[in-house]
Structure 1
Amino acid sequence: MRRTRIAAYVTSLLFAATAVLTGAATAQAAGTGYVALGDSYSSGVGAGSYDSASGSCKRSTKAYPALWAASHSPASFNFVACSGAVTGDVLNNQLGPLNSSTGLVSISIGGNDAGFADVMTTCVLYSESTCVNRVNQARAYVTSTLPAKLDAVYQAIKAKAPSARVVVLGYPRFYQLDGSCIAGLSETERSAINGAADLLDNTIAGRVSAAGLTFGDVRTTFTGHEICSGSSWLHSVNWTNIGESYHPTATGQSSGYLPVLTSKA
């Protein structure tokens, strides 16, 4: 009788252990898909090698989401980031692939909401004072209006992909001050633009933290590789392909963005 009880006890322990292990394996397997959301910094504008099927979204095989997927082989990969996207575009057009089996989501968003393309156009074409005024308008938007828009995006992602690790990537500073550039914008303009980029990143980071998500700060990896550094991972003004201006190069994607996602995923 005693041996029978011991055998039954051991059997029950083994059964429980098997259930735990099987459950753990099931849980790990449940969240293995990767969905890449966001704007042109995530789609890979500036990196070249665009997927013709992506049209004006300009998704690049050299963008950090494609590079991460190629090296990690997720069970599924949905690359829906799109050039020009604002927070509303993410909410209306990009959330479809998210579900309970999504294990990783990456996103960069907010720069277009703040009008940074118009900021850079204004600064390149007009006076220093006009540039600084436009930067200050963008700063006011980032402070007053953008936080609620970011909150809406992050909450929607969490609702549709409750098991996913969500990594929100920020933006690099554009310029190395007192750098190698001998023409172009003034140091006052470059400093104002960098300051606005910092405000944008810090605002994003704050909302990411409030949502319980993970922020990836690419300012660290891009330090020393801004425009005017002599080793830039960002395009300056490209008059022959204006859409690539102020976007990461292929090296900016592989050495600036990819390591940050990899460390946070």
Structure 2
Amino acid sequence: MGWVAVCRSSTVVVMLVVLASCSSRPAPASVAPRDASTPSATSSASPSPSPLALDLPTIDSYTSIGDSFASGPALGKIRDDSGFCLRSDHNWASILATTLGTRTVDDVSCAGATTADVLSSHTVPGMVVPAQLDAVRATTDLVTVQIGGNDGGLFSSLVSACAQGSGTCSTFADDTAPAILRVSTDRVARVLDAVHTKAPKARVLVVGYLRILPDTGTCKAVQISASDARAAASAEVGLDSALASAARSGRAEYVSLRALSKGHDACAGDNAWTNGATVADGEGIAYHPRLAGMAAVAQAVAQHLSTTPR
């Protein structure tokens, strides 16, 4: 998911670009792993949160559902089993699983995924990608869900309307985006219902999206005008609210990243957790999380698990 959405029609091109830019850096640290005495250093150039000592629950089986904000294209090494889903060994679910000491991890997040791809299989060049829901079992202890940004073409449409200077950004953000988000809210809630059906004892968390844009203003990094940036930022707020509503309807917990990532948007320079239009080698793809952003999300989810009663 992101401003430059990973669409199925362009997956081959995106994958070639991503694989060309991959590196094999060590995974970044987030929260202190269970029983670890000292945290490892982060490989991200931008600052990530300091590791925290948390009282973490025992999670034996964990499933991560999501789109490219979860899978992490072009962050470190793309996992051999991910195919066109472009799952990184640096994504936040991988960091979280290490932190929790989880024995069984099913990361089925997939670049370009929508809620439909969670519930049903879909075809990409040369392969069939199973429904992400297939990885959820009756014995699963934890399911995280980061999905919804690609539904209805929300973010790909924002690219066309806002980042390309078409002059239609405000109209899209004010009129079209709210309609898309109303539908997306119901779709995410249906995903959550399906997860509960397959894993009735699992703890289910909906995880929001990191900021791409600041609340006000713009910058060269995002290549969006000030007026369009305001409109696009309002769509980000709308998505956060929609996911919170879906979590309530779907009997799940919501981990919002809006407050956490304030001051770490793509305009934050060395403090940025998301990319703008250009990307440093190994730091992901445009308008998506950087290494430090993935570490921050993992820490936020771990802290939620530690401090929020079920």
- Maintained 8 Å contact 2:222/2:276: no
Residue among 154, 163, 168 paired with 2:206: 168
* Change in 2 beyond 3 A, CA 1:77/1:122: same
Aligned match of 1:259: 299
- Is 1:189 matched up with 2:228? yes
Greater Cα shift, 42-51 or 81-90:
42-51
- Maintained 8 Å contact 1:45/1:248: no
- Is 1:89 matched up with 2:117? yes
Separation in 1 of the partners of 2:259 and 2:200? Answer: 29
- Is 1:233 matched up with 2:233? no
Residue among 124, 129, 144 paired with 2:163: 124
Q: Which structure: larger Rg?
A: 1
Separation in 2 of the partners of 1:192 and 1:246? Answer: 16
Greater Cα shift, 45-54 or 147-156:
45-54
Residue among 83, 99, 115 paired with 2:137: 99
* Change in 2 beyond 3 A, CA 1:201/1:100: same
SS in 1 for 2:223: coil
Aligned match of 2:84: 56
Aligned match of 1:14: none
Deviation at 1:54, TM superposition (A): 0.9
Separation in 2 of the partners of 1:46 and 1:216? Answer: 24
What TM-score, normalized by structure 1, do the two folds share?
0.81
RMSD over equivalenced CA pairs, Å:
2.3
* Gapped regions of structure 1 (runs ≥ 5): 1-27
Q: Cα deviations across residues 237-262 of structure 1 (Å, max 9, x unaligned)?
A: 13899x8211000111002x112210
Amino acid at match of 2:210: P
Amino acid at match of 1:238: T
* Gapped regions of structure 2 (runs ≥ 5): 1-56, 121-130, 306-310
Identity of aligned residues (%): 29
* Change in 2 beyond 3 A, CA 1:56/1:182: closer
Amino acid at match of 2:231: A
* Change in 2 beyond 3 A, CA 1:52/1:182: closer
Q: Cα deviations across residues 114-148 of structure 1 (Å, max 9, x unaligned)?
A: 42023124322233x222233342222112x1222
Residue among 267, 281, 288 paired with 1:247: 288
- Maintained 8 Å contact 2:218/2:229: no
Separation in 2 of the partners of 1:184 and 1:148? Answer: 32
Structure 2 matches for 1:125-164, cutoff 5 A? Answer: 125-127=164-166, 129-135=167-173, 136-143=175-182, 145-164=183-202
Aligned match of 2:252: 213
Amino acid at match of 2:145: I
SS in 2 for 1:254: helix
Amino acid at match of 2:135: P
Amino acid at match of 2:212: F
Deviation at 1:226, TM superposition (A): 0.4
Aligned match of 2:146: 108
Aligned match of 1:44: 72
- Maintained 8 Å contact 1:167/1:264: no
Aligned match of 1:80: 108
- Maintained 8 Å contact 1:46/1:245: no
Separation in 2 of the partners of 1:240 and 1:123? Answer: 23
Separation in 2 of the partners of 1:219 and 1:244? Answer: 20
What TM-score, normalized by structure 2, do the two folds share?
0.70
Separation in 2 of the partners of 1:156 and 1:183? Answer: 37
Separation in 2 of the partners of 1:217 and 1:187? Answer: 25
Determine which structure has the larger helix proportion and give its number: 1
Separation in 1 of the partners of 2:201 and 2:228? Answer: 43
Q: Cα deviations across residues 5-56 of structure 1 (Å, max 9, x unaligned)?
A: xxxxxxxxxxxxxxxxxxxxxxx98x72000111111111353321133122
Q: Cα deviations across residues 60-105 of structure 1 (Å, max 9, x unaligned)?
A: 1111100111222213110100000000000111111212210000
* Change in 2 beyond 3 A, CA 1:131/1:100: same
- Maintained 8 Å contact 1:233/1:248: yes
